[in-house]
Structure 1
């Protein structure tokens, strides 16, 4: 696709409130046009952002965060919990779905970082690393005709706060074979000591235009738009961030290579009346669909496996379905 036909835009937020910034992200997703790609750059002050299907109480020391004046936020995309402060730069690529190209999007970040003389590379499921340590994690959200891919660039994040507010489950630590969150991540200022977030923004803006074509001056969007206000209210609401934590009759949990899963069920006369799945799996919509398809079904491993067979998935998500099926068949026998 030629640069001529592509519409590019850079949007920069000058607000450090995560609820505003996530509202703006969804606002831009709603507005993105056919054949357009937007690079949105933003920062949050003292924030824990959890994935769409995560249980906040398990991921974050919520009380400590709020007592220190921090904020808990929940994004639309799947994946795990992250800590943001002003030493971290967030980027979001928002685009017409036909333009989605993960390799090219990550190339923007890699080239921006490499232009500072840092030997960064792409590793694992969706991480960018230097010397095997992660400085950028990524997550994704898809709609029928549009999508976004967002992530972090750790410039000089306060590592102690990462450990203070994030709770990493024992299973996750065992699965990753690590001691702590801090030991796996690194700040780019460890490689370029006087690096600032402003310089990083500049580098990403340049590499974005190098790969996607020139665009006019970055937009600053003010929060006077009524649609943005209602999105802000959603992201700030208790309901969206914490949701109801129902009393379950039964909770089953396990961890797969693609993510952890905690299934909470209410049962009545052997049938499932309420089903909630907490997970850091990447495909947030799939997890929601799996949870919904259990409603009204008998609590029986074979029956639940049959229900899962009916869920239509892309090839790459077939593994998720197969893993959950065999786990449930196995688990439900023992109960």
Structure 2
């Protein structure tokens, strides 16, 4: 007998990114086997970077902090984004067996359609209206659970994207754009009458229609959840900035799946430490690649052999490893 999926819509009462990301991870840890959650949340004046990104390079964090903003790092891979109260964040949380990207994207696209806007999924993780992005998406998987989260630009201050985000020259060239701001769009630019409340209502309706069942709705904050340790984690310097030592050798390159930079520290001809920065969506694989090179002799053939042994679960992961191996083979260290 197949168990019926239990569905919940949970809204955060906080605008603090460290609290909201803590709630997200708490829900991921607590999710039951036959449950799907739609978590809706907003951050005020925040830059959120991907799991493997270099905070120093991706964000003008001193300017952000001077303006009263916060830098946060999420669990998933991908690139840096700016959040304010003109933006709505969504997270689908479930057991891995219920993860269905097409179904989850249907909730968002159907919600936008209800508001009279035609949109589509494009590229590796974007939802677009006439080739301009209004929603970026990213994904994270642990042993049993999964999350798919993203943004919906409603009436965000797009000038702050250019003010706080630092986009590499390689990314600008590959996208053929002049700025971050030039390739994104607010829903209000397409339909002026749309409000945040409209989008929230439409997302809730669409979620209920796609997943069915008797949807439970609730609002939460850090006062009614046991998440103090998680809030401390997301607000900590160690999580947000980490350690960025002076590397002995640093190499970087942009691929179709994202940018990647390797920073190597050596001791007696061996890789004593390696840090891999990337906006690739495959956050776990990027960290596995770095771990695989630790302790390796700093010889091209030995490093390529180590890379070839990194486990890949999907065709996309295999392609990333193949690209990195080819790049190393062509690089003069």
- What is the CA–CA distance in structure 2 between the aligned matches of 1:155 and 1:276, rounded to whole Å? 36
- What is the CA–CA distance in structure 1 between the aligned matches of 2:58 and 2:224, rounded to whole Å? 33
1:244 aligns with 243
SS class of match (1:173)? helix
1:104 aligns with 103
1:26 aligns with 25
Q: CA deviation at 1:217?
A: 4.4
In 2, are the aligned partners of 1:267 and 1:273 still within 8 Å (CA)?
yes
Are 1:12 and 2:11 an aligned pair? yes
What RMSD in Å do the two structures reach over aligned CA positions?
1.3
In 1, are the aligned partners of 2:14 and 2:221 still within 8 Å (CA)?
no
> Do the aligned partners of residues 217 and 35 (structure 1) sit closer, same or farther apart at CA in structure 2, a change above 3 Å counting?
closer
- What is the CA–CA distance in structure 1 between the aligned matches of 2:310 and 2:272, rounded to whole Å? 19
1:210 aligns with 209
2:181 aligns with 182
1:113-150 Cα offsets, whole Å, 9 max, x none, are 00011011111112111111110000000012110000
Q: CA deviation at 1:265?
A: 0.5
1:228 aligns with 227
Gaps of 5+ in 2: none
- What is the CA–CA distance in structure 1 between the aligned matches of 2:163 and 2:213, rounded to whole Å? 42
In 1, are the aligned partners of 2:11 and 2:219 still within 8 Å (CA)?
yes
2:72 aligns with 73
Q: CA deviation at 1:214?
A: 3.7
2:162 aligns with 163
2:60 aligns with 61
1:269 aligns with 268
Gaps of 5+ in 1: none
2:319 aligns with 319
Q: CA deviation at 1:175?
A: 1.2
Note the 1:96-175 alignment, pairs <5 A: 96-175=95-174
- What is the CA–CA distance in structure 2 between the aligned matches of 1:218 and 1:20, rounded to whole Å? 19
TM-score by length of 2: 0.97
- What is the CA–CA distance in structure 2 between the aligned matches of 1:285 and 1:133, rounded to whole Å? 29
TM-score by length of 1: 0.97
1:46 aligns with 45
SS class of match (1:150)? strand
In 2, are the aligned partners of 1:301 and 1:330 still within 8 Å (CA)?
no
2:34 aligns with 35
In 2, are the aligned partners of 1:6 and 1:36 still within 8 Å (CA)?
yes
- What is the CA–CA distance in structure 1 between the aligned matches of 2:250 and 2:188, rounded to whole Å? 43
